[in-house]
Structure 1
Amino acid sequence: MILSPFEWTIAKRYLLPGRGEAFIALVAGISIGVVMLSVAMLVIVMSVMNGFRAELLDKIVGLNGHAIVQAYGGRMDDWENILNEVRKTPGVVEASPLIEQPLMTTFNGRVEGILARGNTMEDIRKFQDKLVSGSLDPIQPGAGKVAIGVRLAENIGARVGDTITIINPQGRPTPFGTVPRQVGYEVAAIFEVGVYDYDGAFVIMPMQDAQTLLLLGDTVGMIEVKVADPDKVGDILEPVQRAVQGRAVVADWKTINATLFEALQVERVAMAFALSFMVLVAAFNILSSLVMLVRAKTRDIAIMRTMGATRQSLMKIFVTTGFTVGAIGTVAGLIFGFVVLFFRQGIVEIIGKVTGQNLWDPQVRFLTTLPSKTDPIEVAMIVLLALVLSFLATLYPAWKAASTDPVQVLRYE
């Protein structure tokens, strides 16, 4: 929509009302504020929801892969053959054996449930960038050294260099019954994954040590798999599922965490739908401010009509005025939203201190910090929604202005 110099001059005049029109300016300012807050709220909420899903998926997949091949009974005897078959499957980028078993640990009289994980040395080295203290170098097969999560270390009071005792209730049979197997391991490193449940339970050790602790011999419990496209993990591993049928089962990240990720998706859609009504409310604010402007400028409109202004020109003037209000609010909302996202963690901490409430409890939220991931496509859709609704809100007031009859208005002038 191209405006002539006359139309643009009048539109600018109406965008900046004079001193006697302070109330109209106030209503227009409120409209800009409502659009800004609605757009900012949509950007913030959708970015946080996306960040929560992406961060959670990254943390979970970083430890468990995109899928696991779980043996029936927890023992995979021919795991070498299955591992080679998985690695040859198109779309699989990484596969490695894994032992994972819930056990108990004790230190200085404190007892905690743990999840003992036996990894290959290559997988253990991947925890290097997650270390809080200690070193992974001493952790070698047969060395009796392990790495534990930072929350577990805090719960039992263990530090690097301390020796914790891991208890395997299966143990070995004796003349006096089955005695639980208790093995001492020195804490060589403490790591932080960022998922509260994992940091409070995981004990990482070489796979050979896990086999010895759990009396597994040369078997493993499962094979973890990473694929090129996580969203197509089921299709990629379908040949593996057929090959191991009757011996093992393939479970992907969607199945293992189905309840969690489905809940996140439902909440994300519901929040987007609910918050979209804020943009609709902002559009009604623009409509009401334009209606007031048209009523206040009825005499001016009539004079412009008598001077040769066409109905189309008046439509353009008031559509431009209202749409500009919406556009300014949208841009301000984007800026405000990105600023809030940049300082999100500090804002959460400040609100928590003021209210005395822990707004981001890792035990409830899984993650230790508030995540954020902005999707450019979603931001574009939010901007488009705000601009379209702003444009539609201008049509009725602009049509009313263009329909003004100068004869009726100026009859008694």
Structure 2
Amino acid sequence: MIRPLPLFIGLRYTRARRRNGFVSFISASSMLGIAIGVMALITVLSVMNGFEKELRERILGMVAHGTVQGAEAGLEDWQSLLPALDDRDDVAAAAPFINGEVMLTRGGAVTGALVRGVDPQREARVSRVAANLISGAMENLADGGYGVVLGSRLAAELGVATGDTVNLITPQVRASAVGILPRLRRFEVVGVFDVDMAQYDGSLALIHLADAQRLFRMDEAVTGIRLAFDDLMQAPGRVREIARALPGRYRVSDWTMQHQNFFRAVAMEKTVMFIILMLIVGVAAFNIVSTLVMAVQDKQSDIAILRTLGARPATVMAVFIIQGSLLGVVGTLLGTGAGVALSLNVESIVPAIERLFDTQFISGEVYFISQLPSDLRGSDVIRIVVAAIALSLLATIYPAWKAARVAPAEALRHE
């Protein structure tokens, strides 16, 4: 098999045992540095992709993609507005809701909570609560039944389970013979949900929409209507179309008005981490410069002989570019294999490390999630591989250029 001369010599130099062991050590460390940098970059970006995906699914599975509310106070004409929104092709589901802040008590336990009045049949289409019930059922929320579905952390804080009762106290007051008293109502716990998000598991309680209307004295009004779309990324445009189509004055908003800055921050953090970790790959890649400079010094007599045999400077330059590029390519491939394997198994490796050292890397009390997710994307892997190989190739240019400028007479004078 005939191979080009620069490729043949470059491969031979790469495989050959060098007289200078330090050059071999620098070559191995350069290759290892690139491999570690690429592995770290693939793993970190996969974890950040998983983190963003998990947050997007969990947060946007609990909040409304879009919301229609009254221009000032409650939404009075929601019963006529709801069918009109349901009939729109761009709306997947619509559900009325009432929001209110209350205190929940049980024995000596007292905690604040956000109460949401919902239609049990419609709520399952706009949130993940019904799909994440660990006891009870949403159907147990009945008009006049005064039942409540609690988040798991909230239920644990109050020390209650399905079938127990809790006292719900609203900030509204009522006059009595003994003076001004807060409004209080006893509710039966008919369900407990766990969406694995402390923000909701520890503060959200659901009751029937009609019970909420009576509790907060809203008559027939509601706080608003929650909307769900098939593609939540198109929510801003669809909300604007709905706002133009609605008769009268309404406040129409979408999820990006509340959470867009958060997801932008996550995306920016991912970009910054890519740049920082790419610098690690860059440092390892530019160690190739040291390797090749010493290799050129070690091979000066060989270069001189090649030149006297008629090799052009471009041929000599190509020999060392190939030699340095091979170090970068091999290191990149090793790092890519290790990074892909680690990214695909990080969700099982991290829990094993946590059990081994009896620690927890991500606390559900602090973060939105309690497990380290991973989402390996081919586009990220390709981008990292191309960048690492490009840096390796760039690092070979100067030493190869110096090799091409070696003067044969000077190199062979002392041989």
Same fold by TM-score, threshold 0.5 exceeded? Answer: yes
Q: What secondary structure is seen at the aligned counterpart in 1 of 2:162?
A: coil
Give the superposition deviation at 1:12.
2.3
Structure-2 separation of matches of 1:300 and 1:245: 86
**Partner residue of 1:160 out of 134, 159, 162:** 162
Q: Deviations over 1:183-222 (max 9, x none)?
A: 2222232221122111101112332332233232322111
Pick one of 371, 392, 395 that aligns with 1:393.
395
Which ranges of structure 1 fall in alignment gaps of 5 or more residues? none
CA deviation map 1:336-390 (0-9, x unaligned): 2233334435555566678886531222222222233233323322222111111
> Which residue of 2 is the match for residue 369 of structure 1?
371
Change (3 A) 1:334 1:129: farther
Contact 2:35 2:332 in 1 (8 A): yes
Partner of 2:116: 117
Equivalent of 1:339, from 338, 341, 362?
341
- Residues 90 and 236 in structure 1, CA contact (< 8 A), matched pair in contact too: no
Indicate how the Cα distance of structure 1 residues 167 and 314 shifts in structure 2: closer, same or farther if over 3 A, else same: same
Distance 1:229 1:404 in 2: 63
Match of 1:41 in 2: 40
Give how far 1:113 is off: 1.0
Contact kept, 8 Å, 1:99 with 1:119, in 2: the verdict is yes
- Counterpart contact for 1:169–1:179, Cα < 8 Å: no
Given the superposition, is the C-alpha separation of residues 245 and 387 from structure 1 closer, same or farther in structure 2, using an over 3 Å criterion? farther
Asked if 1 retains the 8 angstrom alpha-carbon contact of 2:95 and 2:123, the reply is no
Residue in 1 that maps onto 2:25: 26
Residue 16 (structure 1) shift: 2.5
Aligned to 1:279: 281
Task: Report the residue type matching 1:287 in the other structure.
Answer: V
| Cα 1:70–1:372 shift into 2, 3 Å | farther
Provide the secondary structure at the position in 2 that maps to 1:363.
Answer: coil
Report how far residue 75 of structure 1 moved: 1.4
1:215-234 paired onto structure 2 within 5 Å: 215-234=217-236
Q: Is the 8 A contact 2:146 2:208 kept in 1?
A: no
Aligned ranges 1:11-410 → 2 under 5 Å: 11-18=10-17, 20-89=19-88, 91-125=90-124, 126-242=128-244, 247-345=249-347, 348=350, 358-410=360-412
Tell me how far 1:105 sits from its aligned partner. Answer: 0.8
User: Equivalents in 1 of 2:158, 2:96: separation in Å?
Assistant: 29
C-alpha deviation, 1:274, in angstroms: 2.5
Return 238-247 or 310-319, whichever deviates more. Answer: 238-247
For 1:114, what is the secondary structure of its paired residue? strand
What percentage of residue pairs aligned between the two structures are identical? 34
Q: Is the 8 A contact 1:91 1:229 kept in 2?
A: no
Gapped regions of structure 2 (runs ≥ 5): none
How far the C-alpha of 1:27 sits from its partner, in A, is 1.0
Deviations 1:206-252 (A, max 9, x none): 32332233232322111112234433322221133345687431222
Query: Cα distance 1:79–1:321, how it changes in 2: closer, same or farther (>3 A)?
Result: same
Deviations 1:107-155 (A, max 9, x none): 2210111111222223444534323334445344333333211111222
**Distance (whole Å) between structure 2 residues aligned to residue 286 and residue 117 of structure 1:** 62
Secondary structure at the counterpart of residue 111 of structure 2? strand
Deviation at 1:77, TM superposition (A): 0.6
Tell me if the contact between 1:17 and 1:24 (Cα under 8 Å) persists in the aligned partners: no
Question: Counterparts of 2:324 and 2:247 in 1: how far apart (Å)?
Answer: 64
Amino acid at match of 1:46: L
Per-residue displacement from partner, 1:54-99 (whole Å, max 9, x unpaired)? 2222212111221222334551110123333434555332222122
One-letter amino acid matched to 2:36? L
Closer, same or farther in 2 for the Cα pair 1:251/1:408, shift >3 Å? Answer: same
What's the Cα RMSD here? Answer: 2.8
TM-score with structure 2 setting the length:
0.88
TM-score, scaled relative to structure 1: 0.89
Count of aligned pairs between the two proteins:
412
**CA–CA separation in structure 1 for the residues paired with 2:362 and 2:300:** 54
Q: Specify the code of the residue in structure 1 equivalent to 2:276.
A: A
Residue type at the aligned position of 1:337:
G
Partners of 1:220 and 1:172 lie apart in 2 by 21
Q: Is the 8 A contact 1:104 1:112 kept in 2?
A: yes
